[in-house]
Structure formats: C-alpha cells, structure tokens
Chain A
Amino acid sequence: MTTTTSPGVTRRGRAAAAPPAIDPRPRWQPALVILLVWFVVWLFTRGHDTLVLLGRDKTSVMNALNDFRDHMLAGRDTNPLMRITGALADAFRSMVTWLQRLISIPAEPRPVPRIGWLGVTAVATWLGYALANWRIALLTLGTFVSFGLFGYWSDSMDLLIIVGVSVLICVVIGLPLGILAGTKKRANGVIEPVLDLLQTMPTFVYLLPIVLFFGIGAASAVVATMLYAVPPLIRIAAHGIRSVPATMIEVADSLGQTRWQRLRTVQLPIAKRTIIVGLNQTTMAALSMATIASFVDGPGLGKPVLAGLRINDVGTALIPGLLIVAIAIMLDRGTTAASERADVIARGGGLKPPVHRALLVGGGLAAVAALWLSTQKFWAAEFTDRGIGRRIANVADHAVDSVTSSISPFTGSIKDGITYGLLNPLQSFIAESPWWLAFLAIAALAFVLGGWKSFVPALACLAGIRFFGEWHNAMITLAMTLVATLLCMAIAVVVGVAMARSPRTDLAVRPFLDAGQTIPAFVYLVPVLALFGPSRFTGIIAALAYAAPVAIKLVADGVKGVSATTMEAARSTGASRLQQIRKVQLPMARASLVLATNQGLLFVLAMAVIAGMVGAGALGYDVVLGTTRSEEWGKGAAAGITIVLLGILLDRIARRAAEPAPKETQWLSLPRGRR
C-alpha cells in the first residue's frame, strides 16, 4: 500500500542509488586529536580552576535552592501548590493506612489487623488458582507463607500495599496518557521527553523534591513509586496502540467508525496484550522503587534491608531482599499466567472440567472459612515468629563473613589494580583539568562524534553543570561512570556472547540476571563493602551489579538475533569461533551493543547515589547529604540536577555517535532487526 512519502526519505533513497559514499575521515580521528590537545593543555594547567567545592561549601545557586525550599515549607498552609500536594499526600496516606489496618498492622483497638495471615494467604492462593492455575496458586501460597515464616509478614504486606496503590494510580494516570501518546502525534511529542527525563533521572534524585511536597512516609513512597513506574506503562501502551496493523484501522474507517468506536472496539482490544506487558513492567518497576522509598520512611521490606545495611549484617538484609525477589517472581509469573488464562477464557476455552469447578468452589469456601478464622483466632491472625529467619540470617552472615575474609586479599588486588591503573589516571585527567578545558574538550568531542545534534544539548548540559556549581564532583562522577561502563560492557560482551552461543549457559545465567535486576541494590552492598571498604571501587561494583544484567541481556539477545543463515555462511567459509564472534556476530549485533552501552551508562549513573553512600563521594554523596541534612538540601538538589544533566549529556553523545542506531528504551528492549 502506498503511504505518504516525505521528501527527505526520497532524497535519501536517491542517494542510495549511487555507490555509498565512504567517509574519508573516520570520526575517531578528530576525536583523538581533541583528546591529544586536551592532554597537552592538561599537562600545563593541571590543578588550576578545578572548582573544587569542599564538603560544606555552597554556591549562591545552592543557597538560592535552599531559600526556595524554605519558602515552600513556610508556605505549607498557604501556597496553593503545597496545599494540593498536601491534600494528595493525606489521601494517599489514609488509603495506605486503611489497607495497612486491614492486613498489616493492628487495627486499634483490635490487637491484630482486621484480617490475619491465614485469611490473606488463603484468599491470595485461591485467587492464584481462580485467575491463573494451580502452579501459580502454589507459588503464591509458598511466597505468602514464607513472609510469615521468616518473620516479615507485616513488612511484606506493607510493600504489597504500596506497590498495589501505586500501580492503581499508574493505571488511572498512565493508561489515558498512553492512549493519548499512541493516537496523537503532538501529544506524544510532549509526553516522550518527559518520560525520557523521568527514566534518566536516578531514583534517589526523585526523593528530594517529593519529600518536600509530600512529606515523609507512605505518601512520598506512593508518589515516588508511581513516578518511577508509570513511564513503561505509558510507553508500552502507546507502542501497542501505534502498532495496531494499519489494515485494522482501515477496516474500522471503511465501516464508518468514529474515533471513540475505533479506540474502544479495535485499538484497545488489539493492544490489550501489549498493554498487559506494560502493566507487568510497571508492577516490577514499582516493586523496585517501593523498596528504595524506605529511605523516606516508606513502609515495606526495604526497611529491614536498610536496617541490615546499618548494622552491617548481610543476613538481616539478605532475607528481606530474597523475599522481595520472591514477590517479584510471584507477581511476574502470576500476572502473565492470569493474562494468558483470561485470553483462553475470552476465546471460549473457559469450559472447565467438573474437578476444577469443584476445586474452585471448595477452595473458595475454604478461603472464606480461613478468612473468618483469621478474624477470630490469634493463631490465624498473627504468624508466630519461630526465629527461623534469624537463624538463617546468622548462617548467611557467617558464611559471607568467612568468604569475604578469605578472598579479600585477592579482591583487594583487583581493586588496587583498577583504581590505580584506570580510575585514578582517568579521574586526574578529567577532574583535575581546569573546568574550561574539560568544558571545551567535551563539547568539541560531542561535536565531532555526533554533530550539531549532540553538540547543542551537550553545550546546554555542560553550561547547566557549571551553573549549579558541582563541576568538580561531576567530573569525578563522570570518570567513575566511564570506568564502570567500560567494565560493564566488557562483562556484557563476554557473558552475553557466551549466552548467545550456548543455550545451556543462557538457561543457567538468566535466572541470576533476573534476580540481579530485582534484588534491591543495597542488599549486596554489605558484602561488597566488607570486601572493598568504603571506596569509589565499591561504588563501581554496586553500579556494575545493577547495570550488568541489563547490558548482558541486551548483548545476548542481539547476538542471538544474528540470523542462522548468516552464521551458516560464516561457518562455511571456515571461520574460527573467535572469527565468527569478532567478524560476524558482534558487528551484526552492533545496534544491540550500542543500546547496551547506552543503557549501561544510564544505569551506572543511576547508581551514583548508592555509590555515594559507600565511600565513592562526588555527586552521589552530595545527594545523600542533601536528603539527610536540611541546610544541605540546596546542595543535594544541585547535585541531583547535575546527575540528570550528566545523564542527558552522555546519552546524547552516545546516541548520536552511534547513528544510525535508533533510540530505544530499556522497556522495549526487544531484539531488533539490523539495518
């Protein structure tokens, strides 16, 4: 079918007819020249104008930010914005409290929640069976029982409540926005950059302004979780609606549909599966953010994890951490199975054998009986803590202790090698350059690598970083980010290629990647801290643990996407395994590699704040400082903004430098065709 052809496309089409022009000067040559000039000037100017800002020093911009915060706080009862957010905060808080009193905390004057563990577990299990299948029911049963068994019933319920409320709000807000973005190009033009920003922004940076407007506790937890979790839903819903086949839209039009009819009868039903994928992604994102929200007193399993970090006890942090993973698995498998099941039922496959029906009814009655019991009897209301969790925690703690102490000489030499060999020289090069030198050099690099389209945003970001007064820290963070990304990609290529070439490796590695993406970052901070001490390297390891799973998956899927025919052709020429990887698979998976690098960069940067908490200093430290000390709020905000600017800067340069790779997001990280 003929569609509108824009002049640009045809011009490119014509150019393609001529033999492809060979770029006479590869882009890396001028880049190398710039680096060389930078180095030479650095030799003579090193240490001057580096804009070092001591711990408690503040620039006037930071003070202005502080004043702004004070102004907002002072106007808590008069400022209309503050009153709206205050009212919203109250609404969220009372919603969460009501649910907590229902299943998690004592509903005064009752000494226990209104529904006890037995009731909640029975109902959840029954729902698992009714909406999905018996496997999901067993999974649910196991997960809920382990909440109580390990002594984290209340925290687990709290986490589920925060996730549930946030996801509900995500749906209410995100679905209409997704539809809007999917159907209206102009709306998409507005929504897309906002989502970009939300997804580039490290999670901790959210917390600063949110606490200002919504106070500490459940309300902030809900808002932060919602903000973090809603982009995938909007994006994927829009994507789903956009990818409804054109024929279907034509059919609808040819039958004389109105827009609303088209949306209701064609676009939404066809995009339903995709939207459910989005909902699933949103739920997973909500789970991870709800955990982090414990930093602002958000209820949930994040709290015991944090407590474990505070007393440096791996065991204490590990069990709630694993429970979070269990919840993730349960929600992921559960929603997927339920949507598949709903499809089957919708397609008339819902006719159930009598056994199933009997189980459904019997189970339902049993669930209700359990529910009733749990409102009446203490044993069914409160899970008696048998100290199992504590015992396992102690074992885990000892195990980790002995492992860390036995391998610490070895890991210490890795740390020293990378710190002295890579990190320190790079940091001294970038951060000890005068600010104007680094500024010019980075802008010039942006230009030669990505042209005007990356030069202009790069210039704006650099100017912003300079303006907010965190230049030196930004450069230190930049150095760390680069080193971490380099390591991340090295790991991603090695593991990713291995996974792509051997299904067995893939099968073995993938669960760990899934867990690595779900388990809250500060769980593994404890052993890492024990191994490497408070240092930038610890921060880098934390960032790696967070970023590597995503990058590995992208590389593996990209390499796997190289067609079997191409590989056959390569083998037929007698290429060795290494040649196959180097000459065929990696170049053909280039788009995935670029995407992985880009994602790696952003993920590593997102961990800058966590890194700041384990001795890596720089921007991350100032953000933490800002969240914890009121007089440093402005400094923290400036550092937070600087992290975001740094993210945009790196993203733009990497993205343009890798043209013609199309831009994609982590949420749509499907294996893509090559151009």
Chain B
Amino acid sequence: MQVTQNRPIGALAALAAIALGATACGGGDISKAEQSNASASSAAAANNKCGTINMAVNPWVSYEASAYVVGEIAKSKLGCTVNYKELKEDVSWQGFGTGEVDVVIEDWGHPDLEKKFMKDKGGDGSAEDGGPNGNKGIIHWYVPPWLAAAHPDILDYQNLNKYAADFKTSESGGQGQFLGSDPSYVQFDEAIIKNLDLNFKVVFSGGEAASLEAFKKAEANKEWLIGYFWEPQYLFADVPLKAVKLPPYTDGCQDDPAKVACDYPDTVLEKIFSTKWAAKTDDAGVAFVKKFQWSNEDQNTVAKYIAVDKMDPAAAAKKWIDANPDKVKAWLG
C-alpha cells in the first residue's frame, strides 16, 4: 500500500526536479529577466547598490501612504528589495534589534521606547532618529462640526461637564462617553479626564477605521460625539472636525502617564531607523530614505487614494509617484 500511494508522488518529485533543473538553462522570458536583474544588480553594486529595506507599516492609513510611497520609489527607481511588515508601533521598535525592521517612517513620539532602544537616551542602541519626515502630527480632542456650530462653548474643556449627559451611551455607565481609539496609539485621555475632573468615561473604538466611522456617522446623523483624533487625516477634507481646547501642552506635562492634565503636543513626525541599517553608507536606499520628506497634503492625497478610492496601497503610491516626478527626483538626487 505504501508503494501504491507513494509512486505518483515520487514520480512527480523526480519530474519536478527535472523541470526545476531546466530553469537554469532555460530560454524563457523569465530567465532573461533574471539574467538582466542579476547583471543590473551587479552593475549597481559597482556604483551605488541598494539592498533590502524592511519597512514597518503601522496601522493607520496616512502611515501606509508614506511607507508605500517610499517603498515603491526604492523598488522601482533604485531596485531595492522592500519588505512591508504590518506591525503595531511597539512591535516595530522591537524589530530593530532583531533585524526584522529597518525603517519606521512616521513616528509620533515614544519617549519610553526611545529610552529603551536609542543609545543617546540610554537604550541598547538598536534604533536611531532618522530626522523629520515632513509631516506635522496634531492630536486633539475633537467634536463633529455640527456640534461645534450648535454649541460653540463646547470647544472649551471647562464646559464639557455641562454636556456630559448628552454624551451618554449604553457603554458609558451614566457618564459621558469619550471615544478613544486604537490601543496602540499614544493616548492619555483617561488620565486627562480624571485629573481635570471631567464626568466622562473612555470607551475605545479599537482602531482608526472605527473612530473615523463614528465621527462620520455623528456628523451625518447629528449625534453627540467627542473623542481622540489626529491630523494628518484625510477625513478632515470631508468633515472638518473641531478641536476642544485643553490646558496647553508644556514640556514634561506628559512625562508621568498617570498625572497628565494637558493637551497633546503638536508633533514633528520623525523617521526612525535601525542603527545597523542606517550605517550602510554605500547603500542608495539608505541615502534616499534619509532624504525623504513630504507634506501633510501629499500624504492626505495618497491616503485618500487608499481609503476612499479603495486602491491597493502600492498602486496608490505609484499613482502619486507618476504624478510628482520632480519631487521624487529631488529625493533621489
């Protein structure tokens, strides 16, 4: 029985081996492409070769836009190998040490992670600051535009308790509901609420999409909603959310997560590199990623391609790259 069963497999394995062997000497179009690839990469090696880029893709659309634009340029213009890795922020940082991640293209500031992984902050030195990526990150508490128009005084945190009852939902247990977002984002809302004596309870939406959906729905149906949101985000083009004023950010007011009672700072979004990867001075890919910077508008354009037009991120990036040759050229020059 063994024999009868194994015979077809064995025969096939032998034939497969022959067929695969044939690829070495075959004359198909793939072999030609392979040869030209091989010679191209050896030619590239002569002047400026590009190795592999392990690109972390963190879970929000604008990040995806930046990651894919960088990745697709590196692939198509420099011949790099780009591996996209869909990871949350923290996991990405841990990947620097193991060589699984080379680039985080949009970092919103993680003092704790910097302390752990950056040499100058006392960490193990597996990560280094790659400089600003050109985007400005803004985090606030937001309400839908209709609400700001109907109750202008709601835009000051001191008046929030007055409206707490209107924000009540089945989830908030008698208090007003505050919509938090993806657990992996930088959020201090529970502490802020507690320390400002606000009669609210944080309910987490779970992710970017859920928050987005909630704000869209709130605007469309004139529902009461207050929550954590951020720019750059393509939603603002359709629904210009209004920020609620909190006590202004001062240096160090968010150092102790339990005692936060201030607004989020505007963040210059940074690139973070794996130290080992960034040290490859003769790598064209490294040089390009170090140089890359773009605006919130550009990012929103690509993000919209992805999220609203439902384009594949790589295709969305390509569309933008084709439309903006001069910007691309400047990064590569």
- Residue numbers of A with Cβ under 8 A of B are 54-57, 70, 73-74, 76, 108-112, 114-115, 119, 123, 126-127, 130-131, 211, 215-217, 294, 296-297, 303, 306-307, 309-313, 315-316, 342, 345-346, 350, 360, 364, 367-368, 371-373, 375-378, 381, 390, 393-394, 397, 415-416, 419-420, 424, 428, 529-530, 533-537, 612-615, 617, 621, 624-625, 627-631
| B46 interface residue (CB < 8 Å to A) | no
Instruction: Knowing A56-B257, A216-B87, say if A111 contacts B33 (CB, 8 Å).
Output: yes
The residue that A629 contacts in the complex, of B12, B27, B60, B90, with Cβ under 8 A, is: B90
- List the B residue with the shortest CB-CB distance to A70: B116
- List the B residue with the shortest CB-CB distance to A112: B30
- List the B residue with the shortest CB-CB distance to A532: B170
Instruction: Knowing A310-B209, A628-B91, say if A110 contacts B194 (CB, 8 Å).
Output: no
Cross-chain contact B112 with A342 (CB below 8 angstroms): no
- List the B residue with the shortest CB-CB distance to A74: B124
Q: A115 contacts which chain B residues (CB < 8 A)?
A: 20
- List the A residue with the shortest CB-CB distance to B97: A76
Q: B41 contacts which chain A residues (CB < 8 A)?
A: 109
Cross-chain contact B28 with A416 (CB below 8 angstroms): no
Q: A631 contacts which chain B residues (CB < 8 A)?
A: 112
Cross-chain contact B19 with A375 (CB below 8 angstroms): yes
A-B CB contact pairs (8 Å), 27 listed: A54-B190, A55-B189, A73-B94, A76-B98, A108-B37, A110-B33, A111-B34, A217-B100, A297-B86, A311-B307, A360-B8, A367-B12, A368-B12, A375-B23, A376-B26, A376-B30, A390-B312, A530-B213, A534-B171, A534-B210, A535-B169, A535-B170, A612-B183, A615-B206, A628-B182, A629-B89, A630-B112
The complex places the Cα of A489 from the Cα of B258 at a distance, in Å, of: 42
Cross-chain contact B23 with A376 (CB below 8 angstroms): yes
Q: A217-B85, A534-B203 are in contact. List 7 more A-B contacts (CB 8 A).
A: A310-B59, A371-B19, A375-B22, A415-B170, A536-B171, A612-B206, A630-B113
Q: A294 contacts which chain B residues (CB < 8 A)?
A: 86
Chain B interface SS verdict (over half): helix
The residue that A378 contacts in the complex, of B20, B30, B95, B179, with Cβ under 8 A, is: B30
| B43 interface residue (CB < 8 Å to A) | no
The complex places the Cα of A57 from the Cα of B59 at a distance, in Å, of: 25
The complex places the Cα of A324 from the Cα of B20 at a distance, in Å, of: 29
The 5 closest A-B pairs by CB, nearest first: A376-B28, A312-B209, A628-B184, A346-B1, A55-B190
- List the A residue with the shortest CB-CB distance to B186: A629
The complex places the Cα of A485 from the Cα of B169 at a distance, in Å, of: 24
Q: B312 contacts which chain A residues (CB < 8 A)?
A: 390
Residues 4-50 of B contacting A (Cβ, < 8 Å)? 4-5, 8-9, 11-12, 15-16, 18-20, 22-23, 26-31, 33-34, 37-38, 41
| B108 interface residue (CB < 8 Å to A) | no
The complex places the Cα of A110 from the Cα of B169 at a distance, in Å, of: 56
A-B contacts, CB under 8 A, total: 218
Q: B142 contacts which chain A residues (CB < 8 A)?
A: none
- Could you tell me the distance in whole angstroms from the C-beta of A539 to the nearest C-beta in chain B? 10
The residue that A614 contacts in the complex, of B1, B31, B124, B206, with Cβ under 8 A, is: B206
Residues 33-74 of B contacting A (Cβ, < 8 Å)? 33-34, 37-38, 41, 59-61
Chain A interface SS verdict (over half): helix
| Interface size band for B | 35 or more
Cross-chain contact B210 with A376 (CB below 8 angstroms): no
Instruction: Knowing A216-B100, A376-B23, A377-B30, say if A310 contacts B204 (CB, 8 Å).
Output: no
| B291 interface residue (CB < 8 Å to A) | no
Cross-chain contact A424 with B207 (CB below 8 angstroms): no
Instruction: Knowing A111-B33, A415-B170, say if A372 contacts B87 (CB, 8 Å).
Output: no
Cross-chain contact B173 with A342 (CB below 8 angstroms): no
| B93 interface residue (CB < 8 Å to A) | yes
Q: B184 contacts which chain A residues (CB < 8 A)?
A: 625, 628-629
| B301 interface residue (CB < 8 Å to A) | no
